[in-house]
Amino acid sequence: LEVVSTGWVSIALTFRGNLPGSDIIVGWVGEDGVATLVDAHGDSEGKMIKDKVQDYQLIVGYQYQDSTVLRFKRKLNTCDGDDLVITNDTFRLRWFYSSKDPRNEMDLPYLTSERQGQRAIHLYETSKFKQRQPKALKWTVASNSVVLPRKHTLYWCTMIKLPEMPEKHHMIGYRPVLTPGSEKYVHHMMIYECHDEDDSASKFHRHVNSGYECNTPNMPKDFRNCRGIIAAWGLGGEPFFLPEEAGYPVGEEHGGATYYMLEVHYDNPGLHGNIVDSSGLEVFLTPNLRKYDSGLLTVGHDVSSFQLIPPGEEAFTTVGHCPEVCTQTLPQEGINIFAGLPHTHNLGRAMRLRHLRNDQEQPVPFQDRFYDPNYQTMRRFELNLKPRDHLMTECTYNSSELDTYTRGGFSSRNEMCMMFLHYYPATRLAHCASRLTLKHVLLALGVSVWPITPSTRHLGLRVREPWQYQNLTFTDYLRVNGGKSRAANIRLQEASLHHSHMAECFDYGERRVYADGLEFSTPRIHNPLYDNVGGCFDESQGTFAYDPRLNQPLHANAHKPMVTILSFSVASVFLLYILF
């Protein structure tokens, strides 16, 4: 921890930014050159109180010029009720510092900082993926001077051609390249493979470097053959690099594609004008091939306007499935997932990926119970997915401040529930998702609708019952009804969790569809894993003692031991610079 100050410095680990219950470290270097580090916590008023047990160990502390440097460590799980367990969740780290040292440890509750700040951070990450191949080639995939209109949401699609290459190359990483001044407008960016059924490239070539508003009548129909994501970046995301054994193959003849489509989601709630953007992704390529070709699999809830989140709910969960009817297409040895990008819009507060095999739940590969929709970046975890396995993507939303339904959709005012999973070896399966059937949505709401016929199709979906809402469109019904029925909200939650879904599964370019609206029953899990963690094994007694004060989020990779040492230092896991 390095701070441009010669007084005390403190960092507080929190889940939502609240100091009460936080895990605090306070340190300083005295005039005699002796460094002091105190393990503390926030009391009910947020004041710093020294822990009875000091679990943070000072490695080195010193001052040079006008800076203070402290290096320290602790276990991920200290089994101390005053400490937080370090998990794969999103932490909100708060920092404070002063130009003066405290007189002694008794001053801690009364310290007043001169400067402070905070940021979201993922503490439980391995560093082995951080290396970048030194001689990687750089290919910039970007929009071409898009003029943002005065509208809340814009999806812009640009056709890109892969540069000519004499031999096979692997994509080994990518990073965002944001136009200065556009950072607050770019919500997410995706790169899709483009394939034609007759393998004719001419239909794509004439659109190279051309851009259109996505999914509108003005977008050429050729763009609709761009399905299957190979790179994904979300708001607040950081550069991403694949592990040393894997690389995505570019080029149609090598198992990838020659033509790609960049999709950029712009979010402009202020309806600002005169914004010109050329943001995109810088892709790193190498001719030094990795052991495995990699791919990317999209899982979760299909984007659908019938995904409903009722208002006034602090925790409403939507579930999307990747069922066995789709995973049965995987190779016998399965695929190895090594990273994933969780994605919701503004209401998202928690995400979890569950793994079932023969209806038996496996260790939870990933969850973030304090997910921050403004900090979406690739997360590291490991999962071997075999044929006929089943994945469940769970997204929990907080709609407590809303007074009407939120629907699934592309706008940031709508919601999504998806994960983008990098894996190897590559297969053709690109998309494996589901959506709750319309009949179960209607049953939960207590609504029936008129049949849609060729002569009434232009009127849309219209309500038949209840009689007082008769002939309203379904959209108008949701607006007028406003989620006033608590019983209907409970039924909708029950339907989302347990009732049948419709599967949507296809390969890159959607050249082969494995399931198109196929209805299936959601699995009946025989051994569900519950979020109960925090107990510690007492070696002297040979017993497992559970302390309710330690009821922290379930560890993301449950099969890994929680004995790793967490270290904050200049040369280790985390480095924080605080400048005047």
DSSP 150: S
Catalytic residue among 41, 169, 343, 422: 343
Closest by CA position to 299, among listed 262, 335, 267, 252 = 335
Would you give the end-to-end CA distance of the chain in angstroms? 15
Nearest CA-CA partner of 514 in 334, 380, 324: 324
Query: Considering 97, 124, 155, 371, which one is annotated as catalytic?
Result: 155
Lookup: tokens for 401: 């401040």
Asked about 260 being catalytic, the answer comes back as no
What own/partner pairs with CB < 8 Å and gap ≥ 24 does 41-48 have?
41/82, 41/83, 42/12, 42/18, 43/109, 44/20, 45/20, 46/18, 46/19, 46/20, 46/22, 47/108, 47/109, 47/110, 48/10, 48/24, 48/108, 48/109, 48/111
SS3 of 85-135: CCCCCCEEEEEEECCCCCCCHHHHHHCCCCEEEEEEECCCCCCCCCCCCCC
155 is catalytic: yes
What are the structure tokens assigned to 500, written together?
């049948």
- What is the identity of the amino acid at 476? D
Judge whether 390 and 327 are in contact, CB under 8 Å. yes
User: With contact defined as beta carbons under 8 Å apart, do 219 and 227 qualify?
Assistant: no
Catalytic residues: 155, 343
